[in-house]
C-alpha cells in the first residue's frame, strides 16, 4: 500500500531534530511514496541546510521529498491543511519534525488498514524522552478499540497526533485541518468522529516524542487556559462533547494551568500518561 508522510516545519525548530525526524521516516521498513514537508514561512539557513543535505544524501531521498514552501508563517493548522491537499496518496502518515519514528511504525499501521478496510484513522502509543531516546521518562497509552476511543474522545484527545495515519478522503470529508491553536488535531478528530470515522490505536509505542522542562512551562498560565477553553468550545460545538463534560474538563484544566511547574509536571505524568 502506498502512503504519504506529512510534516510541517517552521523557523523556531531545531535543525538537528528535523534531521533525525526526516531520517526516521525515510528509513521505515515500508518506505513512503513521498514525504511532503510544508515550510511554514521562511526558515533559518540551518534548517534549509538540513533539508538540502537530506535531498543530497541519496537519490531515493531526493525523489521522495516534496517541499511545499509558504511565503509566510500561517500556523500549524493552515500548514497541514495545505499539506494534506499536496499529498498524492489516500493514506497519510503524520509526523512532527522534532520526534523520531521507530522503523516499523508505518508497517504496523499499514497492516491495520489492510486488516480493516473500513478503518479511517490509526494512531499508536508514544514513548516520551528527554535528550536522547535512551532516556525514556514516560509513555502515553490510549484506548485501542473504536468503542473505547469513542467514549474516551468525549473528554480527552484520543490520538497522539505525531503517530496518526489516516485516509485523506476522511480528513477532507470532515473539512480538513483548521487553524485553532493547540487543538488543530483534536478538533479534526472530533469532526471526523461525528462523521462516522472508524478509529483504532496500535497498542505499542511506535514513536519517540521529545519532551522537556520548557514544555511544562508553556502549558501553564491564564492565557494558555483561555486557548484550552476556546478549543474545547469548538469541540463541544461539533456535538461530540456535552456541556457538562465541557465544564468539567475546563475546570480541571484551570487547576492544571495555575499550579507551579514542578507540581504540574507530576500531575501530567500521573494523570495524563500511562
The model's pLDDT over 176-222, given as tens digits with 9 standing for 90+, comes to: 999 998 899 999 999 999 999 999 999 999 999 998 656 655 666 77
- Would the pTM of this model clear 0.75, i.e. be above it? yes
Of 43-57, 165-179, 185-199, 239-253, the one with minimum mean pLDDT is: 239-253
Domain boundaries, the chain: 3-211, 217-271
Q: At residue 262, does pLDDT exceed 90?
A: no
268 band by pLDDT with thresholds 50, 70 and 90: low
pLDDT of residue 274: 44
Residue 115, classified by CB atoms within 10 Å of its CB into exposed (0-12), middle (13-18) or buried (19+), is: exposed
Helices 76-86 & 184-194 angle (0-180, nearest 10): 60
Q: At residue 255, does pLDDT exceed 70?
A: yes
Q: At residue 257, does pLDDT exceed 70?
A: yes
264 band by pLDDT with thresholds 50, 70 and 90: low
Q: Which fold has domain 3-211?
A: Spore Coat Polysaccharide Biosynthesis Protein SpsA; Chain A (3.90.550)
What percentage of the chain exceeds 70 in pLDDT? 92
In degrees rounded to 5, what are phi and psi of residue 205? -80, 115
Average pLDDT, the chain: 93
pLDDT of residue 217: 57
* Mean pLDDT computed over 238-264: 83
pLDDT of residue 238: 96
Residue 266: how many other CB atoms lie within 10 Å: 12
Between CA 90 and CA 207 the distance in angstroms is 22
Amino acid at each position: 500500500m502506498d502512503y504519504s508522510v506529512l510534516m510541517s516545519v517552521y523557523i523556531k525548530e531545531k535543525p538537528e531534530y528535523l534531521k533525525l525526524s526526516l531520517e526516521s521516516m525515510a528509513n521505515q521498513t515500508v518506505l513512503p511514496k513521498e514525504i511532503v514537508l510544508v515550510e511554514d514561512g521562511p526558515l533559518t539557513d540551518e534548517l534549509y541546510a538540513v533539508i538540502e543535505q537530506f535531498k543530497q544524501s541519496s537519490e531515493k531521498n531526493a525523489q521522495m521529498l516534496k517541499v511545499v514552501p509558504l511565503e509566510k508563517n500561517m500556523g500549524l493548522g493552515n500548514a497541514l491543511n495545505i499539506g494534506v491537499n499536496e499529498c498524492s496518496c489516500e493514506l497519510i502518515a503524520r509526523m512532527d519534525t522534532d520526534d523520531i519514528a521507530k522503523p516499523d511504525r508505518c508497517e504496523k499501521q499499514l497492516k491495520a488498514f489492510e486488516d480493516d478496510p473500513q478503518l479511517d484513522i490509526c494512531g499508536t502509543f508514544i514513548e516520551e524522552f528527554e535528550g536522547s531516546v535512551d532516556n525514556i521518562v514516560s509513555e502515553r497509552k490510549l484506548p485501542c478499540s473504536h468503542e473505547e476511543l469513542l467514549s474516551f474522545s468525549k473528554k480527552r484527545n484520543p490520538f497522539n497526533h505525531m503517530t496518526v495515519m489516516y485516509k485523506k478522503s476522511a480528513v477532507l470529508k470532515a473539512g480538513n485541518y483548521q487553524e485553532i491553536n493547540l487543538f488543530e488535531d483534536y478538533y479534526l478528530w472530533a469532526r471526523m468522529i461525528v462523521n462516522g470515522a472508524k478509529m483504532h490505536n496500535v497498542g505499542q509505542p511506535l514513536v519517540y516524542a521529545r519532551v522537556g522542562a520548557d514544555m511544562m512551562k508553556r502549558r501553564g498560565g491564564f492565557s494558555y487556559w483561555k486557548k484550552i477553553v476556546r478549543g474545547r468550545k469548538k469541540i463541544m460545538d461539533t456535538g461530540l462533547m456535552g456541556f457538562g463534560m465541557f465544564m468539567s474538563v475546563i475546570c480541571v484544566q484551570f487547576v492544571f494551568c495555575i499550579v507551579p511547574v514542578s507540581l504540574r509536571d507530576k500531575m501530567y505524568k500521573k494523570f495524563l500518561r500511562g
